Amino acid sequence: MKYYSTNKKAPAVALREAVIKGLAPDGGLYMPEKIKHLVDDFFENMEKMSFYEIALTVANAFFGEDVNSESLEKIVEDTLSFQIPAVKVEDHIYALELFHGPTLAFKDVGARFMARLLEYFVRQEGDVNVLVATSGDTGSAVANGFLGVKGIHVYVLYPKGKVSKIQESQFTTLGENITALEVNGTFDDCQALVKAAFMDKELNERMKLTSANSINVARFLPQAFYYFLGYAQLKRKKLIQLTKQGGKINSNLVVCVPSGNFGNITAGLFSKRMGLPIKRFIAANNANDIFYKYLQKGKYEPKPSKQTLANAMDVGDPSNFARIMDLYDHSHAAVTQDISGASYSDAQIRETIRSCYKANNYILDPHGSCGYRALKESLKPGETGLFLETANPAKFKEKVDKIIGGDITIPTRLAKFMSGKKLSIPMEKDFQTFKSFLLKR
């Protein structure tokens, strides 16, 4: 399959080049030229299939033309080495817990898949340098997904003082082929450095660069897997009601996605295009409400990001907005048919975590709090709601403990990271400084 740039000013490329380059030469994001619609029988019988069988079916639709079947099967099997349960929070509202992987965050799925797919493509390429900007969980998922992979060096750029100590420990203590850069700025500054690196001719002539942010198709497309897995579990619980109209399968399922850089919800929109019968999506924002305001006004106005309790969503200019625009032919009316929005302050996030714990004995992380609240406020009679719980609340222990008046147990995996030595390198947000650093490595 060929992949084209959202800016439409660069030639279409094969998957291998799209994965290795990450960003198109014209600064656009790669998109597959076609999205395969899966057969109705798959959706009608998905509850009888294993997680692995479901994910492999989806992976084949995306990557089957470009990766041999044996390798793709192994990549999917290695990626999904943990469970992704749909857990009841209250009547008609379920949490899809995406935090049971190695770094206890949803990005483990995309990062693990990308690490293995990139390794598959670069065996004969020589060394590849992965650049990744993180506002929290991306860095840890990518760093741990690529740790020890031969021929690949990862540079994690993160904003100084703007990620939790637990998150920071997950990518600054690893060493080996992982270098953490503590940038004196915001997430947007980190992301700007990464994008500028891809657009710099000299840097790209001297180094082979790629990105592991959701701008890379190998990172964001596999995130479609868990929308199918969530649907299958709710169907197994007989919570999904299917109807057919005009030959199209419809359902009562509403999915709410805590949204920052919008790769996660974009993967969900792809799953809908593949035929997964999701009735509608809700994009839940924190105070960084650029997309929410776009839904209201039809005008996209990026702004500097604000630091919030839900830090992984602190994005003022979400990269994947370009993919959403491309998917919907830049039609605001078409976007709002499938997606509604919500935006919450830190005070509202705290209140939601507190009230959900009191009413349901379920502990939300700050990001999942936005998803749960948006569902609770907008779910209609007869609908079943699924929100993505994107990180284990223990990753925000100090803040969540204060909110619920409790003491969350830190999982053993997190405790091991926290006992390691911080190895990060201070970095100014100036591109020339960053470029010089890379060229000297």
What 8-state DSSP symbol labels residue 316?
Answer: S
pLDDT at position 97, please?
A: 98
- What are the backbone dihedrals phi and psi of residue 351, each rounded to the nearest 5 degrees, phi first? -60, -40
pLDDT at position 235, please?
A: 95
Query: Which one from 34, 48, 107, 150 is the annotated catalytic residue?
Result: 107
The Cα–Cα gap between 229 and 219 comes to 18
Q: Going by C-beta distance under 8 Å and a sequence separation of 6 or more, which residues neighbour residue 213?
A: 22, 132, 133, 138, 191, 194, 219, 261, 263, 319
pLDDT at position 142, please?
A: 87
Give this prediction's pTM: 0.89
pLDDT at position 236, please?
A: 95
pLDDT at position 247, please?
A: 78
pLDDT at position 430, please?
A: 94
- Segments in the chain below pLDDT 50: none
The Cα–Cα gap between 371 and 76 comes to 27
pLDDT at position 125, please?
A: 67
107 included as an active-site residue: yes
Burial of 297 (0-12, 13-18, 19+ CB in 10 A): exposed
